[in-house]
């Protein structure tokens, strides 16, 4: 099957700055893929190359098998991009803006799909409102709608929930998940790593223009050794045999590092022998933020 996105040996420089260094990346059709990295890692540069807003110094990029330079019209029709910046035309209503966007792709009568997108993004009561009168969160919803108006099979979301409220996040992710279930490929960049952990099946991490990690989300989470066991005890003391496992102490709690689940029984046995009761227990799993920080610190 043709890859949704194929990036081969792509490099890009801006003067003395290497924004991307020999990037190789393939994203399968139907994936929900995360592209993560600190500011300046090259994420937006890579998206700009895919969207034709910039040209690579070397290498090739393709969307659904169409080279973004040689077959740029075919590639653009199959790609929808939600940019970070709030870019909008202040002279039109929401519905007019979406109708004009449809025209850019040669779609003459798109009213049915426009109405559906407006409904799913909770823009119905703003459909005939001028773009200038919308809040920042509403403008971002319109950006998402514009990226979807031509029904692209590949959708790139560049920080789509930056600075928006909880209601928009829930509405947006509900709709994007539906699109993904329907077969659309989703590529997400975000600094909200809990979003990427929940949504993305596979993740690439960039640093200084290079891919420093690429794996399934679960494998990345499993790469962090050790789990944590947080205990609230009565009396509030930790038996000496367990003290070497302690990695943190709160006012009323102890946090122990354990290698696997079997160690929980050993901890409980030591507490029973010491006559210490467990008032509350919390097993803390490694999260994507911890994985991200470890990978970034060692590269």
The pair of structure tokens assigned to 194 is 């809990």
The SS3 assignment for 253 reads: coil
Question: Of 183, 200, 221, which closes a domain?
Answer: 221
Low-confidence ranges of the chain (pLDDT < 70): 225-226, 299
Q: Are 62 and 75 in contact (CB under 8 A)?
A: yes
pLDDT of residue 277: 94
Q: Are residues 177 and 115 in the same domain?
A: yes
The SS3 assignment for 52 reads: coil
Q: Per 3-state DSSP, what percentage of the chain is helix, strand, and coil (rounded to 5)? A: 40, 30, 35
What are residue 158's DSSP bridge partners? 189
Question: Of 221, 248, 265, which closes a domain?
Answer: 221
Question: What CATH number is associated with residue 203?
Answer: 3.40.50.300
Is residue 299 domain-resident? no
Q: Are residues 198 and 250 in the same domain?
A: no
Is residue 293 domain-resident? no
Question: Of 221, 248, 278, which closes a domain?
Answer: 221
Domain count of the chain? 2
C-alpha dist (Å) from residue 148 to 68, 162, 187, 198, 211? 19, 19, 13, 22, 28
Instruction: Count CB neighbours of 256 within 10 A.
Output: 21
Q: Are residues 180 and 263 in the same domain?
A: no
Q: What are phi and psi of 106, to 5 degrees?
A: 75, 20
The runs of H, that is alpha helices, within 4-110 are 43-51, 72-77, 94-104
Q: Are 214 and 28 in contact (CB under 8 A)?
A: no
Q: Are residues 235 and 256 in the same domain?
A: yes
Is residue 297 domain-resident? no
Q: Are residues 143 and 181 in the same domain?
A: yes
Distance from chain centroid for Cα 152: 19
Q: Containing domain of residue 234, as a range? A: 226-286
pLDDT of residue 225: 65
pLDDT of residue 260: 77
């Amino acid at each position: 099957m043709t890859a949704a996105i194929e990036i081969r040996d792509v490099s890009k420089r801006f003067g003395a700055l290497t924004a991307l260094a020999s990037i190789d990346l393939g994203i399968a059709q139907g994936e929900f893929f995360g592209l993560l990295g600190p500011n300046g890692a090259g994420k937006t540069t890579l998206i700009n190359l895919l969207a034709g807003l910039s040209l690579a110094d070397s290498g090739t990029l393709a969307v659904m098998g169409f080279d973004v330079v040689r077959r740029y019209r075919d590639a653009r029709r199959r790609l929808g991009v939600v940019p970070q910046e709030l870019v909008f035309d202040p002279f039109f209503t929401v519905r007019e803006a979406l109708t004009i966007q449809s025209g850019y792709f040669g779609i003459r009568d798109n009213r049915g799909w426009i109405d559906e997108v407006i409904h799913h993004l909770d823009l119905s009561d703003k459909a005939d409102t001028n773009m200038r009168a919308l809040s920042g969160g509403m403008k971002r919803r319109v950006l998402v709608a514009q990226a979807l108006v031509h029904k692209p099979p590949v959708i790139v979301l560049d920080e789509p929930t930056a600075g928006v409220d909880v209601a928009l996040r829930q509405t947006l992710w509900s709709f994007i998940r539906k699109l993904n279930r329907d077969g659309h490929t989703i590529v997400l960049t975000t600094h909200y790593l809990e979003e990427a952990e929940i949504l993305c099946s596979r993740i690439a991490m960039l640093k200084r223009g290079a891919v420093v990690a690429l794996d399934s989300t679960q494998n990345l989470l499993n790469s962090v050794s050790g789990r944590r066991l947080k205990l609230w005890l009565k009396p509030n003391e930790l038996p000496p045999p367990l003290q070497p496992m302690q990695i943190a102490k709160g006012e009323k709690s102890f946090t122990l590092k354990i290698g696997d689940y079997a160690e929980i029984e050993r901890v409980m046995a030591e507490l029973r022998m010491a006559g210490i009761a467990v008032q509350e227990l919390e097993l803390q799993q490694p999260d994507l933020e911890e994985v991200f920080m470890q990978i970034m610190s060692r590269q």
